[in-house]
Structure 1
Amino acid sequence: MIRMLLRVLGHEYARPVRRTVFLMTTAAVVEGLSYALLVPVLRALFGSTPGDARPWLIAFGAAVAVYAVLRYVADLSGFRAGTTLLRGMYHRLGDHLARLPIGWYSPGRVGEVSVLASRGVLQAMSVIAHLLAPLISACVTPLTIVVVMLAFDRRMGLAASAAVPVVAAIQIWTGRSMAATDAERVERDHEATARVIEYLQAQPVLRAGGRTVERFRLLDDSLRELQRASRRSTLSALPGVLGLTLTVQAMFTVLLFLGAYLALGGHIGAAEVLTILVLAARCADPLLSLSDIGGQLRGARSELARLDTVLRTEPLPEPREPIQPVRHDLEFESATFRHGDRTVLDNVSMSVPEGQRLAVVGPSGAGKSTLLQLLARFYDVDAGVVRVGGVDVRAIDTEVLMAQIAIVFQDVYLFDGTIEENVRLGRPDAGEAEVRAAATAARLDEVIERLPGGWATNVGEGGALLSGGERQRVSIARALLKDAPIVLLDEVTSALDPVNEAAVHEGIERLMAGRTVVMVAHRMRTVQRADRVVFLDGGRIVEEGGHDELLHRDGRYADFWELSMAPATRE
């Protein structure tokens, strides 16, 4: 467990962890040894001169005081080490997530990582602060007490030590038997959580379709599966709990009978028997707590395993000797990209001269957005080359590459902050005049004027307090403020009303002016402003050329154009 913890965190944290383990072990040993002083105390009390017990009582009190100080220092070290590890874990996880390719962040994985980064990290790091001390105490103190028993009476000590391998075997067997049920319960827990979120988010659609009862049934089924998995997990732990309890009780009973037999035979004094029984009783509590501690440790270990899996995910390799592109033209040369078993792009070759605009059109699933993602190096191609300014994107430092590119997506995400803070993400060091100019160019100033808070208006998580068109204007203002020479646009007006579409188009035109542009177009009117058009289907370039040229060919693009313009004609 400690080895995995250090592997996840890094061995630079080994020293405070080892110090904490040493202090906690020492405290547990001192606790066990302090009980050895009960023998002379009880021997004096049961003897002819009870007053002789006074110095032994003082010694016992001093030993308990030493134990209390050690336990305080050990617990304090545990809390400090836990805080240090928690901070280090967040820093390491955050740094690693920032280096992973954007394509790694699928919707399902984002939810998994968000849970892992909150509850998962806290549970994993709680080992040092909250679980290590009781675990060491539950293991080391009883073993120390057994050694003390062996020192006073070898027969009683051997009888007590017989329980040690039994307790260890029960713990190992319980851990192995519960591994599968614990994993199933965690999986059902995640599934039920996803169902609850889905049910809440889908309320408008469900109520409009009158299907709330059916959705309740799906949610109830998920919760019932979670209940069954929890019941199976509890039942699988029951044999271990019962076995541990019976072992502890059997050990105490054997010691009681053996002590009585030896005392009646005159082989041992009553004080020694009573002391050993007190020591045996003191062993019971920490041993019985092992079941609960073991369950918590298994949960923490599973979270550590998930953290380890994320941290072992390799980021896209950075070039050892990065090359700085001096031009802003774009090129795909025999680019092939696969996602799982599916070939998304197949041997694609095309180029975009600096300062020109390329429109990418085609049916859904043709690979249009993937082209943009490969240019921004969200992924690396499986074959071929993607170049920016004549340089393979894999040979460009990631920060340098991203500084060259401004991206406006169809689905805009805004951080929970003010409008100004979200615009300034494009260039945090920009002056106030530059921010205002970018907002005006994106026609965001119209939105700001009608909001009560103006620039200080909070947009909510994900920009939920703004409309889709308003979020797009913030995104365009952010891209304008960045002032990057390459612009990638991904169907930015496909879901906007006419008023917002007109405003966004005006902002997009200002954003594209004088820049190298690749736009994925859903509404075909946008394509007419492109210098060149590429029609993708099935991951391949079916047609390419100018807008008018492709219409005259009367091929796939012409058919697509007619279909897209038909609704407008009927209106």
Structure 2
Amino acid sequence: MIRMLLRVLGHRYAGPVRRTVALMTATAVVEGLSYALLVPVLRELFGSTPSDARPWLIAFGAAVAVYAALRYVSDLSGFRVGTTLLHGMYHRLGDHLARLPIGWYGAGRVGEVSVLASSGVLQAMSVIAHLLAPSISACVTPLTIVAVILAFNWQMGLAALAAVPLVAAVQLWTGRLTAATDAERAEHDQQAAGRVVEYLRAQPVLRAGGRSAERFQTLDDSLREVQRASRRTVLSTLPGVLGLTLTVQAAFTALLVLGAHLALGGDIGAAEVLAILVLAARCADPLLSLSDIGGQLHGARSELGRLDKVLRTEPLPEPGEPVRPSRHDLEFDAVTFRHGDRTVIDGVSLTVPQGRRLAVVGPSGAGKSTLLQLIARFYDVDGGAVRVGGVDVRDVDSAVLMEQIAIVFQDVYLFEGTIEENVRLGRPDADDAEVRAAATAARLDEVVERLPAGWATEVGEGGALLSGGERQRVSIARALLKDAPIVLLDEVTSALDPVNEAAVHDGIERLMAGRTVVMVAHRMRTVRRADRIAFLDGGRIAHEGDHEELLRSSARYADYWNISQTPV
């Protein structure tokens, strides 16, 4: 458990964790040894001169005081280390998620990551703060007491020692029983979290269909599965709890019978038997708590395993000797890319000279947006190469590559904050004049002027407080402020009203000026000014040329163009 915890956290935390474990172990040993003083205390109390017990009582009180001080220090150390580990774990998980390829974030990942980042991390990191001390105490203190019993009477000590493998076997058996149900419950938790997100995102569709008052069947089904899995998890722990209780009670009964037999035979005094039985009873409490602690530890271990699996997912490799492109032309050289079992891009070869514009058109699912993502190295190609300035993107440092590229997506995501803060994401060190100039070029200034709070207007989570056209203007202003030499545009006007579309087009024209551009568009009139047009179909280049050339040579392109010109 500790080994996995250190692997998940990294070796920088090994020292504090090991010191805390050593301190908690020493505390548990002192607790067990302090109970050993009960034997001479009770022996003297039940002897001929009870007053002789006074020194032993003082020693027992001192031992308990030492234990209390150690317990305070060890618990405080556990809380402090646990808080540090929690902070470090969130940072490590966040940094790692930011480096994973976009392709990793497939179906179901939203639920998995949301559960991991919330309850998963808290449960895993609670081991140090809340579970480690009681679990060590539940194991070490009884073993120490058994050693004490052995020192006072070897027969009863061996009888107590015989219970140790039985308790260990019950715990292992319980762990195996709950392992499968824990994994099942975690899977259903992730699915339910994903369904909740889906339900929230589907509100516009549900309400448009007049179904806002209805229950969301898929979400209900997921929640019912979570309930069933939780019930199975609880039921799977019952045999272990009952088995542990019976084992502990049977061991105590055996000690009682053996102690009575030895006392009646004169092999041991009644006071010693009573003291040993008191010690055995003291063993029972931490042993019985093992069922509860063991279940929590097993759940935490399962979460650690899931965290470990995510952290072991390899990000895209960084070049050992990165090369910085000196030019800004683009090239697809026999590029092949597969997503699962499906070939999305199949042997595509294209060139975009520096400062020129390439438009990519074609039916939905043809792989148009994937081409943009390969340029930005959201994925690595399975065959061929994508080059920027003649350099394979895999040989360019990721940070350097992203410095060269500005991306404007169809679905704009804005971070919760003000309009100005979202624009400044393009270049945080830009001065006010540069921010205002970018806003003017994107025609965002028109939006800012009509809002009561102006630049300080809060956009809400994801930009929910702004319209689609307003979000696009923020996105274009952000890209203009970045001033990258390569611009990637993905369906930026496909869902805008005419007024916003005209404003966004103005901003896009300013953004594209003098830059290398690859644009994906469904609205064919946006591609007329491209220097080159590639018609993509089934992951392959079906036709390529300028607008007029394709109208003459490609019936499919001509059909697309004619349909786009037909009034609705």
TM bucket normalised to smaller:
over 0.9
Rounded Cα–Cα distance in structure 1 between residues aligned with 2:426 and 2:192: 38
Cα deviation code 1:168-219 (max 9, x no counterpart):
0000011011111111111122223333333344334224434467644443
Aligned residue in 2 for 1:219: 219
Matches of 1:289 and 1:565, distance apart in 2: 75
Provide the rounded CA distance (Å) in 2 between the counterparts of 1:286 and 1:432: 64
2:122 is the alignment partner of 1:138? no
What is the deviation of 1:122? 1.6
Residue 543 of structure 2 is aligned to residue 548 of structure 1: no
Cα contact 1:170–1:240 (8 A) shared by 2 = yes
> What is the identity, as a one-letter code, of the residue corresponding to 1:95?
D
Alignment-mate amino acid for residue 195 of structure 2: R
Q: Structure 1 residues 371, 217: CA separation in 2 closer, same or farther (over 3 Å shift)?
A: closer
1:508 is matched with which residue? 508
Change (3 A) 1:111 1:456: farther
Match for residue 478 of structure 1?
478
Match in the other structure for 2:348: 348
Aligned CA distance change for structure 1 residues 108 and 228 (closer, same or farther; 3 Å): closer
1:14-60, CA deviations, whole angstroms, 9 ceiling, x for partnerless residues? 11111111111111011001111111111111112111111000000
CA apart distance, 1:109: 1.9
In the TM superposition, what are the counterparts of 1:357-372 in structure 2 within 5 Å? 357-372=357-372
Match of 1:279 in 2: 279
Find the counterpart in structure 2 of residue 73 from structure 1: 73
The equivalent residue for 1:28 is 28
Residue in 1 that maps onto 2:443: 443
Q: How many angstroms apart in 1 are the aligned matches of 2:111 and 2:136? A: 35
Where does 1:382-531 land on structure 2 (aligned, <5 Å)? Answer: 382-531=382-531
Q: CA deviation at 1:424?
A: 0.3
Deviations 1:387-408 (A, max 9, x none): 1111111111111111111000
Q: What do residues 63-106 of structure 1 show as CA deviations (whole Å, max 9, x unaligned)?
A: 11111111111112212221222222223223322322233333
> Could you list the runs of 5+ residues in structure 2 that have no partner in the other structure?
none
- C-alpha distance in structure 2 between counterparts of 1:498 and 1:404, whole Å: 31
Q: State the distance in 1 between where 2:484 and 2:168 align.
A: 64
Residues 106 and 191 of structure 1: is their aligned pair in 2 closer, same or farther, counting only changes over 3 Å? closer
Residue 52 of structure 1 is matched in structure 2 by 52
State the distance in 2 between where 1:295 and 1:331 align. Answer: 56
- Paired amino acid for 1:274: L
Q: 8 Å contact 2:115–2:193 — kept in the other structure?
A: no
The one-letter code sitting in structure 2 at the alignment partner of 1:542 is A
How is 1:272-351 mapped onto 2 (pairs within 5 angstroms)?
272-351=272-351
CA shift in 2, pair 1:516/1:427, >3 Å? same
Aligned pair in 2 of structure 1 residues 92, 22: CA closer, same or farther (>3 Å)?
Answer: same
Alpha-carbon distance between aligned partners in 2 of 1:553 and 1:118, rounded to the nearest angstrom? 56
Aligned partner of residue 63 in structure 2, secondary structure: helix
What is the TM-score normalised by the length of structure 1?
A: 0.97
Residue 110 to residue 221, structure 1, CA distance change in 2 (3 Å): closer
Cα pair 2:206 2:212 within 8 Å, conserved? yes
Q: Residues 336-390 of structure 1: CA distance to partner in whole angstroms, max 9, x if unpaired?
A: 1111111111110110111111100000010100110011111111111111111
- 2:111/2:191 contact within 8 Å kept: no
Q: How does 1:238-249 map to 2 (within 5 A)?
A: 238-249=238-249
Larger mean Cα displacement after TM superposition, 191-200 or 323-332: 191-200
Matching residue of 1:539: 539
1: distance between equivalents of 2:243 and 2:188? Answer: 28
The answer as to whether partners of 2:159 and 2:255 remain within 8 angstroms in 1 is yes
TM superposition shift of 1:492: 0.4
CA distance in 2, matches of 1:210, 1:416: 30
CA–CA separation in structure 1 for the residues paired with 2:241 and 2:545: 74
Residue of structure 2 equivalent to 1:85: 85
Aligned equivalents of 1:422 and 1:211: distance in 2? 35
- Change in Cα spacing, 1:234 to 1:144, as seen in structure 2 (3 Å) is same
Match of 1:161 in 2: 161
Q: Which moved more, 1:77-86 or 1:179-188?
A: 77-86
Please state whether the residue corresponding to 1:183 is helix, strand or coil. helix
Q: Describe the superposition over 1:102-142 as per-residue Cα deviations: whole angstroms up to 9, x where unpaired.
A: 33333632442233123222211111111110000000001
Aligned in 2, Cα 1:539/1:455: closer, same or farther, shift over 3 Å?
A: same
Cα distance in 2, alignment partners of residues 107 and 464 from structure 1? 23
**Amino acid of the residue matched to residue 318 of structure 2?**
E
CA deviation vs aligned residue, 1:506-548 (integer Å, no higher than 9, x gap) = 1001100111100001111101111110000000000000101
The aligned amino acid for 1:529 is R
- Asked whether the equivalents of residues 44 and 52 of structure 1 are also in contact (C-alpha less than 8 Å), the reply is yes
63-72 or 213-222, which deviates more: 213-222
User: Normalised by the size of structure 2, how large is the TM-score?
Assistant: 0.97
Q: Is 33-42 or 252-261 further displaced after alignment? A: 252-261
Deviates more, 1:265-274 or 1:196-205: 196-205
Q: CA RMSD in A?
A: 1.5
What amino acid sits opposite 2:18 in the alignment?
R
Alignment partner of 1:86: what SS? helix
1:39·1:272 contact (CA, 8 Å) conserved in 2? Answer: yes
SS in 2 for 1:324: coil
- Separation (CA, whole Å) in 2 of partners of 1:214 and 1:9: 44
Counterpart of 2:189 in structure 1 is: 189
Q: CA deviation at 1:322?
A: 1.4
Supply the distance in 1 between the matched residues of 2:384 and 2:191 (Cα, whole angstroms). 39
Q: CA contact under 8 A between 2:493 and 2:504: conserved in structure 1?
A: yes
The 1-side partners of 2:66 and 2:295 are apart by: 31
Deviating more after overlay: 169-178 vs 192-201 = 192-201
Matches of 1:543 and 1:149, distance apart in 2: 88
Q: Tell me if the contact between 2:115 and 2:189 (Cα under 8 Å) persists in the aligned partners.
A: no
* Contact residue 199 and residue 215 of structure 1 kept, 8 A: no
What residue number does 1:102 align with?
A: 102
| Pair 1:91–1:193, CA change in 2 (3 A) | closer
2-structure distance, mates of 1:417, 1:104 = 28
Q: 1:218 to 1:370 in 2, by over 3 A?
A: closer
**Is the contact made by 2:111 and 2:192 (CA closer than 8 Å) also made in structure 1?**
no
Structure 2 contact 108–191 (Cα < 8 Å) conserved: no
Percent of aligned pairs sharing the same letter: 83
- Alpha-carbon distance in 2 for matches of 1:461, 1:65: 54
Give me the whole-angstrom Cα distance separating, in 2, the residues matched to 1:223 and 1:93.
27
**Runs of 5+ consecutive residues of structure 1 not aligned to the other structure:** none
C-alpha distance in 2, partners of 1:285/1:553? 86
Q: Structure 1 67/102 Cα, relative in aligned 2: closer, same or farther at 3 Å?
A: same
